[in-house]
Every structure is written in structure tokens, then in C-alpha cells.
Chains A and B, each alone.
Chain A
């Protein structure tokens, strides 16, 4: 007689945690309305395509329905890793990424350090504003500009001819071996100003009294930059470097596609263009998806590793 009463009292006095949770959640209907539709959007547009990776294991025929496709297991991957073009493309991707990384970092850091030394505020602001311009224009416009600049009658050839460094115009965009250099410089032209933002922000966190002390000790500008400013932004540099290494397979797509042509294809074609070519133009969906999957999975590994290394070095990790 006693037991049931106690049980009854207990179940009334202590409702389950889950019940409390849902009760609380029901009070947050508006927040849910403001967020869950986008969660559904996320699921549809970001997670559902992941299921499309199954195409990498099929011999995909666009004409057939999704469920009627033939399974070929790892065949697509086998073909991929035996394909000579794949390794060429991988080489291109890694080389272009590395060049862009090195040039990008080097130029942005140097420019940030130099901008920081400008005393005249208005001049400094003006330079900065102008330096952001190439970042905002599209790659189509940028490619147009590169084309015009490197054309036989463009400013580069004209200057080189005037300086007698060459005796006839060079067809820059027609030579594969120049492509990586051209791409590197174009990327720098486009992004160096923008990339200085984060470094300049980091520089503002450096204790100004260090500079005063150095100045009293007779340190020159260069010495102050080398011994105070540069070490001061080292943490930011390290973090950004590591995170960028995580993106090593993302060498970009637009500039290579827009500036590359049949004469430079051995140097300009990277993984993304490879996927585009085999997928959309040759309709070999299986192979293209396999390549895309390879890229994402390897990138993911790199990013996780990068994250881990950054954490180990004692810096805060990405979110």
C-alpha cells in the first residue's frame, strides 16, 4: 500500500530531464522559427550533396535515373590514380598553392609592416583604400586586365622593349612555363592590400612603449620593425599560415580557368578544372566526383591536422 503512493509521488515530483528540455524548447518557438528553416536549407544544400559522393562509386549515366546507376566499386578511383593527367593536375595544384601561399604571405606582411610606418595618416588611408580595390573587382575583370597588360602591345611588352630588355614582344600568356609566375603575381596584385588588414589589426595590439624604449636606445626604423613589430605579429602569422596550409589543395579556380588556354594547359589545369573538364564537358560524372571527393577528404585531413598543430602551439583554434 505504501509503495505505490511513494512511486506516484516520486514520478510527480521529479519529471524526466527530457520533459523539462522539451518544455523549455516549446517556449523558444520564435527562436526555432528564426533558425530551423535555415537548418533545413543547410541540410538540403550542404549535406544532401555529400550523399552525391556515391556517384564516385558508380558508372554514372546522366540519362538513367539516380537509382538505376551501375555500381563499379573503386573502379573510378583506380582509373583516377592511374591517370597521368591526374598527377599532372595534382602537381599543378600543389605548386600554384605553394607559390600563392609564399608570395601572398610575404607580400602582405611586408606591405603591412611598411604601411604601419607611414606617418601621414591621410596618405596612409589613401594608399590603403586604393590597395583594396583589386580585391573587390571580379576575376573576370582581373583576367581582362592581365590579358590587356600582357598583350603584345600591352604596357609590359612596351616597357620591356623601350628598356631594350627584349627585342620583340613576348606572348606571355601563351607560354606554359610562365603561367605559374603570372598567376602568382596576379594573385598578389589582387589580394595583397586586403590581406594586410588582419596584420595591421594585429600590429595595433603591440605595446607602444616598446617602440619608445627602442627609440631611446637608438634603434633605427628597420631595427624596430625587425625586433618589435615582426615578433609582435608572429602569433597571427603562424595561425594564418597553418590554416592556409590546410587549404593547400584549394589553389583557386577562376584565375586558372580564365587565364589558362590550350597552350598553357599543362601548367594551368588544377584539380577544380580537372573536375570541371571530366564532369561537365566529358560527362564522366563518376570520375569527376571521385576526384572532387579526393580533394575534399584530403583537404579535410589537412585542415584537421592544421587545427591540431595550431592548438598544440598554444594558440586558439578555429572556433
Chain B
């Protein structure tokens, strides 16, 4: 026994140690490359705007200030946009996850006669899409342009999410639902009282996906609600700031900047600092939440992905 152990130790050659060392170095580099942009944005957002123009702000502010954040939150439209973003995230996630779970439960029931029909009808839509124009015209005809509900209704059921939840429910022990039925519980009661609590991991995964989608959405604002400023979202405002910046070739030389300077006002903020601040605000909720749900979405992706 010890003979084999000793020889196994001998068979851990130098090349293995070198490999491990290089691997660790590589991973550290990966961490740096992944995190640096966020650290940089953080620094820029807390750095005095005019000082940032001088450059060389990398991972820590040189002249700490709260000014950028004050400015952002004093701008009513950004404050509103953040509110709308939060609202659509919360409302959209709750409604979507509940409905998707309910649907997933229904089609998970082996004795449900319409099960196959419904499932195929949904899966078929993964291969086909009406396209931009037909969808736009539909929303227009339904009178959902310039409304809050256009953020929620067209996306209520995500087919992939439905499949993740359904797979999970199918993995639950049959006995549980059987005994519920024997006890006289109806389908809805079984769903609410018994299945939902047991499906929490899948629900957590799907909730994360939906919430992230809602929080990050900007294109639907662009397409459907661009003329209604009260329904703008944080990401859309950030997108607008970004696109005005791309039309300049240097970081601080926009027309708005020159105008503000000409007014004789001391510009407390610059486009760069605004962008950095909005970036932090737009990413912080996600950054804070997702690590806690890592266990769930890794499981969810494995479940959903392997089935593919």
C-alpha cells in the first residue's frame, strides 16, 4: 500500500507543479481583466469630474467626491428612470415567474391531455420569430406603445425558463403529488401549497434570469417608448449618454460641455463622469445579487443545457 503511495507521489513530476503555478497565474490574470473595468468605473464615478479629464485614473479616485452621484440623483429624469427600471424588474419578475411556473406545472402533469400540444406549441416558437417589424406593428395595433405594460406582457413566458422549471418539477418524487391528490387537493392547490415550495431552486434560477433581463433592457424602451420620457429606464438613459459620447473623438469635448463652460458655470460633471456613475448604478444591483444565487443558476443551466 505504502509502496504504491510513495510511487504515486514520485509520479507528481515537476511539470505538474509548473502547470499548477501557471494555471494559478492565469486565473489571477483572468480576475484582473474581468474586474479592472468595474474598479475603473468605480474610481471614475467617485473622482472629481474635471480631475478625471487629466487622465490616469485607474483603480482609485484621486480626488474623492460624491458630486457625480449627487448630480445624477438630482436629475429628475434619471431618478425616474431608476424607479421605472426597479418597477419593471420587480413586477415583471414576480408575474413572469409565477405564470411560467404555473404553466410548467400544468405541462408536467403526465395525465394532462393537452400536455403535448401545449409543449410543442411553445417550443416551436424557439425556431420562429415574427421579426422586428411584425412585432412592432402588433404592439402598435394593441395600443401598447408608450405604456409600462409593454415591458411585461410580451415577455411573460420564457420558453427556456418554462423548460427549466418543468424539468425540475418532473424530478420531484411522484408520491408527493399523489398523496396531495388523495387528500383531495385540486391541481391549483397542489401547485401552490406543495409544488411551489419544493421548486424554489428552479424558481430562484428563473427569477434571476428574468430580473436580469428586465433590469438590463433598453431596446424595448428604444423601440416602443422612446417618446415617453416618464417610462424611460436606467439602461436606456445610459445608452443615450453612450451614443452621444461616441460621436466625439475625445473624452471631454462634447458640444454640451463647451456650452456649459461658455455659460461661465464651473462644470461639476462631465460626460465621462456621468457615464461612469450611471454604469455603477446600473450594474451594482446585479453585482450584489448574483453571487448569492450562483448555486441555483449553475444547477439550472446544467439542467436546461444538458437537456439540449
Contacts of A28 in B (CB 8 A): 111-114, 187
Given the known A-B contacts A139-B216, A144-B275, are A215 and B34 also in contact in the complex, defined by CB atoms under 8 Å? no
Task: Closest A residue to B276 by CB, please name it.
Answer: A148
**CB distance A52 to B130 under 8 Å?**
yes
* Interface pair A215/B11, CB less than 8 Å apart: yes
Indicate whether A49 sits within 8 Å of B106 (C-beta atoms), given known contacts A155-B40, A220-B16.
no
- Interface residue ranges of B114-129 to A (CB < 8 Å): 114, 118, 121-123, 125, 127-129
Any A CB within 8 A of the CB of B250 = yes
Neighbouring A residues of B8 by C-beta, 8 Å: 215-216
In the bound complex, do residue B112 and residue A136 qualify as a contact, i.e. CB atoms below 8 Å apart? no
* Residues of B participating in the A interface, judged by any CB pair closer than 8 Å: 4, 7-8, 11, 13, 15-16, 19-20, 23-24, 26-27, 30-31, 33-38, 40-41, 44, 55-56, 58, 99, 102-103, 105-107, 109, 111-114, 118, 121-123, 125, 127-138, 141, 153-154, 156-157, 163, 186-188, 191, 212, 215-219, 223, 235, 238-239, 242-243, 245-247, 249-251, 272, 275-276, 279, 282-283, 286-287, 290-291, 294, 298, 301-302, 305-308
Scoring A residues 195 to 221 as 1 if CB is less than 8 Å from chain B, else 0, what string do you get?
001100110000000000001101011
Interface membership of A261, Cβ < 8 A: yes
Residues on B with C-beta less than 8 A from A137 are 216, 282-283, 286-287
Q: In whole angstroms, how far apart are the Cα atoms of A51 and B138 in the complex?
A: 10
Q: 11 other contacts beyond A28-B111, A118-B23, with CB at 8 A cut-off?
A: A49-B131, A49-B134, A51-B134, A136-B286, A143-B242, A145-B37, A155-B40, A198-B302, A279-B133, A279-B136, A289-B131
Secondary structure of the B side of the interface?
helix
Instruction: Find out whether the CB atom of B239 lies under 8 angstroms from the CB atom of A132.
Output: no
Complex contacts, B26 vs chain A, CB 8 Å: 114
The size class of the interface chain A forms with chain B is 35 or more
B15 and A221 contacting across the interface, CB-CB below 8 Å: yes
15 contacts between A and B (CB under 8 A): A34-B105, A42-B122, A49-B134, A49-B138, A50-B134, A117-B20, A123-B27, A127-B31, A133-B38, A138-B282, A148-B275, A171-B249, A198-B301, A216-B4, A276-B132
